[in-house]
Structure 1
Amino acid sequence: MAELDQTAFARDLVADVLATAEAEHSTTPETFTRRVLEDLEQAGIVSNTFTAYHKSHGVEVHGYGWNESTDSLDLFVTDFRLSPLEEKLTKALSESLFRRLLTFVRRCEKGLRQHIDESSDVYDMCSTVEKAIAEVEHIRLFLFTNCVSTSPAPEPTELDGIPVTYETWDLRRIHRHASSGTLSEPIVVTFAPPLTCLAAPSTEPDYSVVLAVTPGQLLAELYGEHGPRLLELNVRSFLQARGSVNRGIRATLLDAPGRFLAYNNGITATASQVDFVHDGDGRPIGISRVHGLQIVNGGQTTASLHHAWKRDKADLSQVRVQMKLSVVDPERLAEIVPKISEYSNTQNKVTLVDFSSNHEYHVAIQRITRTLWAPALDGSGQETHWFYERARGQYADDLAKRSPAQQRQFRLLWPTRQKFTKSDLAKFVHSWEQLPHLVSRGAQKNFGEFMIRLQSNLPHVDARYCQRLVAKAILFKAVDRVAATHGAGSHKSLVTTYTVARLSQAVDRRIDLDRIWREQQVSAVLESALHELCPKVMTAVTTPLRGNHVGEWAKQIGCWDAVSRVRWVVPAALAAELADLPLQDVAVANDGGAPTADVAEVLEISPEEWTAIERWAKETRSLEPWQRQLASTIGRRLAAGEEIGEAQAAQAIHVRNEAMRVGFSPAYDV
């Protein structure tokens, strides 16, 4: 049965890649590469990735990424076949492709960018790789193929003292990842020597608890290796380490590392299996290996350990962290882990009390969209559904449960082009809400920000809300196709989100989403306007200030400031189609309740500090003029007791973080 599923998956994959490549005017290897990267980014395996193709004598590369969480440089090479079931990826070809990828890194190190056109995507790739080599902790080389590999990936090597690891994602692994229904492959950790522990007796057969004290250095290294994947079940990871608790953790690590165990609450972790070392009487006294490790509370502690070790060069040899490790049957994870995370929390207030997948918002969207009939397109008479994949792998799982005839009917009613995920949803909404700089930070970080915002402004999810959500998806996909026709290349995702945001701003969110839902496509007038707007936005996005890399520039609020000032007049024909009032259906009003996270953080900072930021920036010329002005405005409004809006607060927090990153200290005295 599994082999049949894999065969069907391979055929569907080729068909989908061919259709997408034709629609987006791209090559099949590029489309396949982008598809795999999107899946891996959602799983937290890679981040900040771009596609860019370069091939010359002894060299071939299809994309790159700089994973900030794990301090790794990632390079990707692709082998895509139209008949994957009839061919294999041989060991010789696999080694050749990895060798060509590594040669590319060496040539970048020797200045390959000097021989590349500065306006091309490949130049950006070469520049990024050249810079990263001097800063990253390790290099990861990935080979993507839709064939079955006949050999494992090569053993780790080194390049100028930098560890190099190799990963092959072949048909079997991609299929397993897509259909597993889990977030990603489980993390397995070996403790050598074994970690001394105290196993508490349990009265339940599918749940037990182990207590241990783990070295801080080990936790820092685990986060460095696995990054956000280690925190996939941690509701606190969505809080983006915003609170003052992290400053306290950092201070303890730098000034009193030996007292960390006394000052810190420790971590709560889960595992699907634990291998013990036993004493002579058969009692467990040590942990030799943990399978499926997840830190469900204490993500801030873990990330802070890693950042203090890497950025501050903190000595963690004296740091110890208490750990409560719950061994949970995998089938009960969704039931037990949210309760562990909720009840064990004693640090910051946590309002997200469940896995993101099980949050009431996502559950409601799935429930409604499963029964919501979308109008037939182009007079075909065939109504369809949009499939919201609340948990990864749901679509494949639903498909696999059916017979071949039922699968054909399923694809007819739920076409793959009408499937969207949680990260897609966050991308559609944030683009419409004019937050493209958040979208540009990658699927995982953008989704985390989305969940934070959701807690302060939870919308009422009904049929109308879901219809307009789908309309935003249709609009986003239309802009994406337009960006492809204008040669956005590897920057297409950035150009798309910024174009949607600039359109939303220009029309004051008065695009008729209800009409888009009824017609299941954007109007000819709107599409024409997009072709006019998109090139203007693309110029602003791909022309970064201060020599920044385009990808890094797009993450900054300054990029949105530049794009928001792009000159564009709404065509009269489009103006005639606009709704009378802005569509404010993304979130309900705050109703005078507690301030949002950004507003609350702004209120915690004194007016004098905001004024000091403005004066320091002016004196040192370290920030953009608009950033200095915003800091001054916030200081004046706080001093006068005036309200601070959510959007303005979000921008202000980013300005303060940027100021501190480039040298400002709250102790600055003008």
Structure 2
Amino acid sequence: MADHDLHEYSRALVTDVQALADAEGGSIPNTFTQRVHEILEEAGVVTDAALAYHYSRGLEIYGYGLPEDGSSLDLYTTDFSLTPLSSKLTKVESDRLFRRLFAFLGKHTAIRPNQEDNTDVYDMCTGVEKALSNVLKIRLFLLSNRVSTTSAPEPGEFEGIPVTYELWDLARLHRHETSGSIGEPIKVTFERPLPCLAAHSDEPNYSVVLTVIPGRQLAELYKEHRTRLLELNVRSFLQTRGAVNKGIRETLLNAPSRFLAYNNGVTATASDVDFENDEAGIPVAIRSMTGLQIVNGGQTTASLHHVLTRDKRDLAGVYVQMKLTIVDPAHLSEIVPRISQYSNTQNKVTLVDFSSNHEFHVAFERVSRSLWAPAANGSGQETRWFYERARGQYTDKSAEHETRAAQRKFKLITPTRQRFSKSDLATFVHSWEQLPYWVSRGAQKNFAHFMERIEKSDPVVDVQYCKRAIATALLFQAADRIARTHSAGSHKRLITTYTVARLSLATEKRIDLDRIWNEQGTTNALREALDELCPLIMETVISGGRHVSEWAKKPDCWDEVSRIPWTVPDALVSELTAEPFEIASPESTESDEAEAAVEDIPSEEWRALADWAREGRVLRPVDRQLAERVAQRLSQGRRVVGVQARQAIEVYEEALREGFHPASAVLDHETT
């Protein structure tokens, strides 16, 4: 399936690049480079990337980036193929391309005198020369639409400046492009239709049928779809640790023909079912189901799979009863929790479990699980955060990898330290939202309050929301480590939540959560601030002869902590953002407004702005190029959306401040 997805992505990318190159009159490699620039900017990997192609003996470069904060100098080269899957990008090829890109660093001063003023290459040479005098690091990017057989070269240096290499091949681009995607509904077709008994229903939104499904077929469904089949289950398979699971396995091994009599079966939902009807139009058999989900009986399903694959039993003669509820998709979040709650008698299920299939958690799981976290600490290894929407999912997912090598790889990509549950999420977010007294009341009460707030605020669970929520996890973990060094002991969690809350209050929530996500960690200034603040929190929460656990649960405790005299250190002040982070940020609204604003400005005005900036050398090269692209897209009836729209409006406003007069500029442009 993954190979199929990559093939489809590759084909769509080539088609898209060809169409854009044709529409905009640019070269295909340049268009691909620009397309990847947009992907990486959306992902927060790069900023201010501009096109500038230059080729000479032993040298080739496609673009550069000079982030305003001076954090790095970025140089880009490109490998583009119209038939990308016909060959791999080898180590020999990638090393050669990186060498040719690196050569620009030593030759840019010799290139500039041969370029005309106001050209992209001239601007690039000028910008690079200036950057090399004070830049902290150099990043060399190789962008390719082929699959690489190797990793990027080891870091090096240029004139004492650290140089790192970034290889963005087809597979890596695909991972980032599909970040946050939603899976397709499961569709099952039965070669031999399942006989069924339909119950009459006057409800317009759901109906119920009873059927019996062969155990092997259910096991194979799980084998194919794994935990996707259990997305709406209140919990995932808890392995074979509980008595129920051991009993299921024992029956399957020793008395398979009695399984139907002994087992309660499964409760499932589907959004659509294709029936065979009798002469009276009454359903008598099920030909196919769409949107199939096991909402109760996940342990039965996974145990069948375990016996089929691990114990090598063919499950002949094993049948499982199924109560299938056909639910209108719009009513899933309303009906499924009740189905789970009222049919569940196997293990104790908590309030946190019963919220598993709430649409917020389903969305958070899907989006967060498809995110690739940037490599941290120079490791070069991208990882995933694992949101355990239902108990046992992490263990279940690990168990899917049957060899030790496969399990080690899973743990490398999805380390245990990056697993977090729904109650953990509530703890992280409430600490940031300055509700430490709720966190101190315990997981269940804190989670219940978290859900009340979710119901009221109805946040948009998109990629940005998940990244920022995970950033609060990284912040909480950093504070937790510091509380340990201060010997917070059994009160460590209370001290940690109050420390994060007090820091959030003092900084007005202006700690850069996006930076924490991008760096997968906290800065020195932030850790030093936490280290300074933690003892003050301990003194207020723990001392005074009060019962610490009860005192921490009271809003009065937070009132006292919030009044602790403490000033944010200057080092951290310099890192704070202009606006606070509320996690569920109104960025979508801002994007909509920016897109509308861009379209309100005629393409002729954008073209005039670009010409005005180029002739007067007023704006940065990257901004002039953006104005040109916006003009071209609008003239072709195409939209400018997302980050690009917001950046375009910023460029337009900057041009106005620098003296751009739209009416006269457009007139001059049309005259010439």
If the TM-score is normalised by the length of the shorter chain, which range does it land in? 0.3 to 0.5
> Is the radius of gyration larger for structure 1 or structure 2?
2
TM (norm. structure 2) is 0.40
